[in-house]
Structure 1
Amino acid sequence: MKRVPSNVIDTSQSVFILGRAAVTVESREEEQHSFSSAGHKWLWKGGSCPTPTPIGADIIASQCLEITEMKVFFKNEAEEEAAAVRDTLLALHGIPPELAKYRDAVQSESPEPVLDGLVRTVLSQNTTETNSQKAFASLKTSFPTWEHVFGAESKDLENAIRCGGLAPTKASCIKNVLRCLRERKGQFCLEYLRDLSVDEVKAELSLFKGIGPKTVACVLMFNLQQDDFPVDTHIFEIAKTMGWVPAVADRNKSYLHLNQRIPNELKFDLNCLMYTHGKLCRKCSSKKGNQQGGKGNDESCPLLNYCKE
């Protein structure tokens, strides 16, 4: 464990130091944590208070209360900041119509088929939004049904989506998804996912080779209207700059942190707005090639007030 002075709260590494006890809250995935402090053995299971042995019982209650109060304080502070960032970016950009349609899809009589959404997301990998849209349109024009896609020669499928880049890899992934669906469900349809929980959807989609966490998160948020927060390059860079995730976190770890930090009711809007802002803002764009014109492309970034770097 990282050694820091007893009066320090190091939120970047998610370590709280309370008197003689060092309590880590980094790994929520683990069911229990054990560590030593001031010569005493501690055991912390999940979200419960630490159970020390053989420390005096007279300070246990007070330290547990301090830990609980601090967790509530930082949770409330994080939620307030997330709401403030959402409001700031909403005033600057608004929700782009091409993304807003997914928020309203729950009331739609004819939402986009889930399989279409999954393939759209696959085609969006490592390319621009414009190119991925062209690739999907070309796919639909070349092959009117998923039966046609499944029966097509791999080279023909690759040619249809070549404008989106990585055509062999993406064509193989699409073919594999269709093959698995036919073998497991007897049809090319993912509408059954609408009746499953978030964890069940993740388990189902993880069975398809080539479908990673970001793709699953996008399907959950956009096509299934579930409370999830996919992390792309733009969102990852902005979140790190604002100190919303540990400095050492990669995108997969950042996904876990942000889904815990951001309230469910803010996830859709904030995700769309951070993604949009990352594309438009010079200061937030990590690649000069992503710079675009528009009201968001300003010398002064409103998120500078929240930056920790």
Structure 2
Amino acid sequence: MTRRGRTKKMTKNNQRGCETRHPQEDHLPDNAKRRRLDPHPSSGRLLYPDFERPTAQECRDVRDRLMALHGFPQEFEEYRRNADAATHSSEDSGAVQVKSEAGCSDSGGNGVGSSVLDGLVSILLSQNTTDANSRRAFLSLKSAFPTWDDVHAAESKFLENAIRCGGLAHTKAHRIKNILKTLLEKKGKICMEYLRDMPTEKIKTELHQFKGLGPKTVACLLMFHLQKDDFPVDTHVFRITKSIGWIPPSANREKAYLHLNQRIPDNLKFDLNCLFVTHGKHCQRCASGRQPQRAPLGPCPLSGYHAG
């Protein structure tokens, strides 16, 4: 191959990679073997045994400080679990099964009351775009294809057109189609309600069979749509927890996820996560590049935790 031919090929590959390799996309460590981090290390084995932060008291203190500034973020209110929905007793297992089966129908929503599959697709569509654009993409998808069977049967180009307003349409359409195809092949129907009755670690293992689902996507599905105790690490959470010394300086997002899930008490995970995300959008000190997406609400309540 001539030098000109090699250059042309490299340029073409780089152009093709612009959409699939977004720097903030939920992805796995990129190495020769594409090895996955163990989503649930052996019980009792800490990822960073000599790094003892955050303590339970620090978690409570930071939660209370952020809550005093922001209140509980309204944008996450619909996902906030209540005591009645958190657990199901053996006496109502029949009712739960009926609800789960009903959830296989296409609700058209993407909130906590929607089907698990609705929730997963809404998370995929929210990657690398604004909340408003991801909502528009989800509504456009459900308007164009009323059922997930319709989505599965549709040509990829039509699916891409339906979700284009959410960005990365080619990549997201491919992932959605792959999930539906895998469900149909392995379960005989396009439905993910069976996950509701599985323990957290088994859900993580189960979702590893679906290509394109990284740790953050799985964690968001667990916390928001399956009401499990998990702690997703998005760019806001990663940036803030690193700046206040809750994760080792060398930790990447995947290792930060494992570490924080081991250290943060389960009963504080949901509130802390939602508050970190909201705070990262409002606080000038904690925002990316010190350029908050929303108006600041006051001095940063975490100033005593920041290194500098």
Fold match (TM-score > 0.5) = yes
1:291 corresponding residue in structure 2: 293
- Deviation for aligned residue 1:266: 0.1
- Deviation for aligned residue 1:97: 2.8
> Is residue 2:174 matched to residue 1:172?
yes
TM-score, normalization: structure 2?
0.73
In 2, Cα distance between equivalents of 1:119 and 1:101: 17
Deviation string, structure 1 residues 39-58 (Cα, Å, up to 9, x no partner): xxxxxx958xxxxxxxxxxx
In 2, Cα distance between equivalents of 1:227 and 1:207: 22
Cα–Cα, structure 1 residues 30 and 278, in superposed 2: closer, same or farther, change >3 Å?
closer
Structure 1: gaps (5+ residues): 1-26, 32-44, 48-66
Q: Which has the higher contact order (CA 8 A, sep 6+)?
A: 2
Structure 2: gaps (5+ residues): 1-37, 86-98, 104-112
- Deviation for aligned residue 1:260: 1.2
Percent sequence identity is: 55
TM-score, normalization: structure 1?
0.73
Cα–Cα, structure 1 residues 151 and 106, in superposed 2: closer, same or farther, change >3 Å?
farther
1:123-142 equivalences in 2 (<5 Å):
123-142=125-144
Cα–Cα, structure 1 residues 286 and 224, in superposed 2: closer, same or farther, change >3 Å?
same
In 2, Cα distance between equivalents of 1:283 and 1:203: 37
In 1, Cα distance between equivalents of 2:245 and 2:302: 12
Q: Assess if the C-alpha contact under 8 Å between 2:141 and 2:159 holds in 1.
A: yes
The one-letter code matched in structure 2 to 1:92 is: L
Q: Which has the larger radius of gyration?
A: 1
DSSP-derived class of the 1:104 partner: coil
State the Cα RMSD in Å.
2.6
In 1, Cα distance between equivalents of 2:120 and 2:175: 11
- Deviation for aligned residue 1:233: 0.2
In 2, Cα distance between equivalents of 1:274 and 1:288: 15
1:1-309 equivalences in 2 (<5 Å):
46=45, 74=52, 78-104=55-81, 107=84, 111-287=113-289, 290-293=292-295, 296-298=296-298, 300-309=299-308
DSSP-derived class of the 1:119 partner: helix
Instruction: Count residues with an aligned counterpart.
Output: 243
The one-letter code matched in structure 1 to 2:300 is: C
Cα–Cα, structure 1 residues 290 and 185, in superposed 2: closer, same or farther, change >3 Å?
farther
- Deviation for aligned residue 1:251: 0.3
The one-letter code matched in structure 1 to 2:182 is: C
- Deviation for aligned residue 1:166: 0.4
- Deviation for aligned residue 1:105: 6.6
Point out 4+ residue stretches in structure 1 off by more than 4 angstroms.
Answer: 105-110, 287-290
Structure having the higher strand fraction is 1
